[in-house]
Chains A and B, each alone.
Chain A
Amino acid sequence: MSAAHPIPRHRAYRLLVTAAFRAEFQYGGNLLLTLAGGVVAQSVGLVFLWTVTTRFGDLGGWPMAEIAFLYGMRLTSHGLLVVPTSQLHSLDLAIRTGEFDRYLVRPAGPLMQLLCRRVHLPTLGDLATGIVVLSLAAHHVGFEPTPTALLYLGLALVGGALVEGACQLAVASLSFRMLSNLALRGLIDDIMNTFGGYPLKAFPDTARLALTYLLPVAFVAYLPAGVLLDRADGLQITPWLAYGAPLAGPLLYAAAYLLWRAQLRHYSSSGT
């Protein structure tokens, strides 16, 4: 009889995550340096934001501080997502090298194993920058930290992370049938990064609609930020959809996971 016994998923996850962090630190204590790199990279975006708003005063009627709040929310969500899921980018690689075979012969979920294959430390810089910007901006816009507001903010941040994650997971799933769709994934990342942190009201209607319903960028931060900043009326969207924006994340992620499961059936392994 085999000596193996089932273990709870959360324990398997903790084991694999710890191993990934340990592996990363084997390369020497360059944590601070990588973190600093992440912060600098994200700050470039902030400088751009600052330049735009000081030149035009506001965007779509949103003053600088409020845009910074929105930008901070989106960056924090992004950080919350990429710290644990940066390795989704390596799916093509894992399929091509046959590494993915290994995930399928182990008693743990293949997606969990893929996400835990490594950690990308600079992503911690994204998260840190996001939190700093959000905190500073919250102070400037006079955000009142009532329990309800804080709860809504927390849900919105997690929800936003899941919206972005759902888009990435859905596209990554296609890798099982058509290898290498990195271009498509890069495009989605670019759109999220470029537009996710700005008030969509500033864009033409077609762009705004596309960024709401085609690629749900609006649900990442724009809609919930509008609710928190008392701008729900100016969002050009049914209020209940704006208030319910944090729910979009879990729903979309569940759908993306089902797609992943369905596509996984088409996995055909590599040549050898």
Chain B
Amino acid sequence: MSGPIIEVEGLAKEYRRPVRVEGPLGGLRSLLSPRHVTKRAVDGVSFALAEGELVGYLGPNGAGKSTTIKMLTGILRPTAGLVRVAGLVPWRERERHARNIGVVFGQRTQLWWDLPLRDSLELIGRLYGVERARHRATTARFTELLGLGPFLDTPVRQLSLGQRMRGDLAAAMLPEPRILFLDEPTIGLDVVAKERIRDFIATRNRRDGTTIVLTTHDLDDVERLCRRIVLIDDGRVLYDGDVARLKERYAPHRRLVVQLADGAGWHGVRVPGVARDDEADDAPGQVTLRFDPAGTRVADVITAVLARHEVTDLSLVEPGLEGVVHRIYAARGAA
């Protein structure tokens, strides 16, 4: 077992921005004696990824997600701290590093805007010095997997967002990078396109062993793809670990939704630790119970409900990541 493929230690980034001096001759004074404000966008972030991991890097807007990714990809130089990706310091050995990574920014394309998609893929293959036969094989495989065929000869500027995104993913993965950085890869896409992209990402990780760092606001992406997440806010790590453990810690309760038969009344259940959920938005004849599976067995709750009521439907609801993350940010905001 070798060391981690991504090492981040005490990483910090400060932005210094000039402030315009107000008052007479403000413009001139700003130029001659500039004043600056310093903002610490990333403030001591540390984590390590093993090769082959697929990690969700989450945080609200302005938390420092993008800034971290930009330091990992070699776009920005850190103010302090250490970054090592596949043994290289990204900004110092930028071009060597670039050959190890693939990057997809959901909001802007990496493709040649005015050229057909086919040409962009061809150019990427040559620019990254990919051996010809291997390039042809990979292009054919990705074209099939991502369904690029129908628009390979369309100029990129004429592609729909979903098509362009698939093209971008193919381009990023053509040189078969060891690490793939995805920044909001499903933003603005419809359900079908999202699924296709998630499938592709999951397969690259599972089959090719590509290490993947994913930032997203779509927590469905995370639930579908990631086992581990790193949650940051205000430039610091709030949580780093299993998705399942995160839910246990921040949202331990499960919910049982009971649909009573027509006309039947609710008489309650006498099981310790089970209560009616005040937050639930119950329809008529519907009752939502909450309990902690660590202390109360699901079977006991169901038995108790059925013993006293006539029921047409029962469903057990796991806590969603959405609610969990929401709760964490809310708690932090209140603190």
A residues touching B (Cβ–Cβ < 8 Å)? 1-7, 11-12, 15-16, 19, 22-24, 26-27, 97-99, 101-102, 104-109, 178, 265, 267-269, 272
Q: Shortest beta-carbon distance, A34 to chain B, in Å?
A: 16
Q: B210: nearest residue on chain A (CB-CB)?
A: A2
B250 contacts the other chain (CB 8 A): no
B112 contacts the other chain (CB 8 A): yes
Across the interface, do B15 and A22 meet the contact criterion of CB distance under 8 Å?
no
A272: chain B residues within 8 A (beta carbon): 66, 107
Given the known inter-chain contacts A101-B70, A102-B110, please indicate yes or no for A3 contacting B15, CB distance below 8 A: no
A217–B129 alpha-carbon span in the complex (Å): 42
Given contacts A4-B128, A15-B127, 18 further A-B contacts (CB under 8 A): A1-B178, A2-B176, A4-B100, A4-B175, A6-B99, A7-B126, A7-B129, A12-B127, A16-B127, A23-B112, A23-B115, A26-B115, A97-B108, A101-B70, A101-B75, A104-B74, A105-B98, A269-B76
Question: Which residue in A5, A23, A98, A99 is a CB contact (below 8 Å) of B129?
Answer: A5
Interface SS, A side: loop
Question: Which residue in B94, B115, B178 is a CB contact (below 8 Å) of A104?
Answer: B94
Q: Shortest beta-carbon distance, A9 to chain B, in Å?
A: 10
A259–B117 alpha-carbon span in the complex (Å): 36
Q: Shortest beta-carbon distance, B217 to chain A, in Å?
A: 12
A105–B131 alpha-carbon span in the complex (Å): 20
A99: chain B residues within 8 A (beta carbon): 108
Across the interface, do B100 and A108 meet the contact criterion of CB distance under 8 Å?
no
Q: A14: nearest residue on chain B (CB-CB)?
A: B126
Question: Which residue in A5, A27, A268 is a CB contact (below 8 Å) of B130?
Answer: A5
Given the known inter-chain contacts A3-B130, A107-B99, please indicate yes or no for A98 contacting B108, CB distance below 8 A: yes
A106–B174 alpha-carbon span in the complex (Å): 13
Given the known inter-chain contacts A104-B75, A106-B127, please indicate yes or no for A5 contacting B99, CB distance below 8 A: yes
A7: chain B residues within 8 A (beta carbon): 126-129
A11–B129 alpha-carbon span in the complex (Å): 10
B155 contacts the other chain (CB 8 A): yes
B107: chain A residues within 8 A (beta carbon): 98, 272
Across the interface, do A108 and B175 meet the contact criterion of CB distance under 8 Å?
no
B218 contacts the other chain (CB 8 A): no
A268–B101 alpha-carbon span in the complex (Å): 21
Q: A5: nearest residue on chain B (CB-CB)?
A: B129
Within B149-198, which residues are at the interface with A (CB < 8 Å)? 155, 174-178
A108–B101 alpha-carbon span in the complex (Å): 14
A1: chain B residues within 8 A (beta carbon): 176, 178
B96: chain A residues within 8 A (beta carbon): 6, 107
Given the known inter-chain contacts A3-B130, A104-B74, please indicate yes or no for A19 contacting B175, CB distance below 8 A: no
Given the known inter-chain contacts A22-B119, A268-B15, A269-B75, please indicate yes or no for A107 contacting B126, CB distance below 8 A: no
Across the interface, do B105 and A101 meet the contact criterion of CB distance under 8 Å?
yes
Across the interface, do B108 and A107 meet the contact criterion of CB distance under 8 Å?
no
Q: Shortest beta-carbon distance, B173 to chain A, in Å?
A: 10
B66: chain A residues within 8 A (beta carbon): 272
A3: chain B residues within 8 A (beta carbon): 128, 130-131, 134-135, 138, 174-176
B123 contacts the other chain (CB 8 A): yes
Q: B108: nearest residue on chain A (CB-CB)?
A: A98
Q: Shortest beta-carbon distance, A102 to chain B, in Å?
A: 5
Across the interface, do A108 and B127 meet the contact criterion of CB distance under 8 Å?
yes
Given the known inter-chain contacts A6-B99, A101-B105, please indicate yes or no for A19 contacting B18, CB distance below 8 A: no
B74: chain A residues within 8 A (beta carbon): 104-105
A161–B73 alpha-carbon span in the complex (Å): 35
B11 contacts the other chain (CB 8 A): no
Q: A22: nearest residue on chain B (CB-CB)?
A: B115
A257–B70 alpha-carbon span in the complex (Å): 24
Q: A271: nearest residue on chain B (CB-CB)?
A: B66
Q: Which of A4, A5, A98, A106 is packed against the most chain B CB atoms within 10 Å?
A: A4
Q: B14: nearest residue on chain A (CB-CB)?
A: A268
Within B110-155, which residues are at the interface with A (CB < 8 Å)? 110, 112-115, 119, 123, 126-131, 134-135, 138, 155
B135: chain A residues within 8 A (beta carbon): 3
A178: chain B residues within 8 A (beta carbon): 18
Q: Which of A1, A97, A268 is packed against the most chain B CB atoms within 10 Å?
A: A268
B95 contacts the other chain (CB 8 A): yes
Q: B103: nearest residue on chain A (CB-CB)?
A: A105
B247 contacts the other chain (CB 8 A): no
A98–B127 alpha-carbon span in the complex (Å): 21
B77 contacts the other chain (CB 8 A): yes
A24–B113 alpha-carbon span in the complex (Å): 11
A15–B127 alpha-carbon span in the complex (Å): 7
A269: chain B residues within 8 A (beta carbon): 70, 75-76
Given the known inter-chain contacts A104-B74, A178-B18, please indicate yes or no for A2 contacting B127, CB distance below 8 A: no
Q: What are 12 A-to-B residue pairs whose CB atoms are below 8 Å? A: A4-B129, A5-B128, A5-B131, A15-B123, A26-B155, A27-B114, A98-B108, A104-B98, A107-B95, A107-B96, A269-B70, A272-B66
A97: chain B residues within 8 A (beta carbon): 108
Given the known inter-chain contacts A2-B100, A4-B128, please indicate yes or no for A265 contacting B77, CB distance below 8 A: yes
B77: chain A residues within 8 A (beta carbon): 265
Across the interface, do B134 and A107 meet the contact criterion of CB distance under 8 Å?
no
A97–B110 alpha-carbon span in the complex (Å): 13
Q: Shortest beta-carbon distance, A175 to chain B, in Å?
A: 14
Q: A98: nearest residue on chain B (CB-CB)?
A: B108
Across the interface, do A19 and B112 meet the contact criterion of CB distance under 8 Å?
yes
Question: Which residue in A12, A19, A104, A267 is a CB contact (below 8 Å) of B119?
Answer: A19
Q: Shortest beta-carbon distance, B62 to chain A, in Å?
A: 9
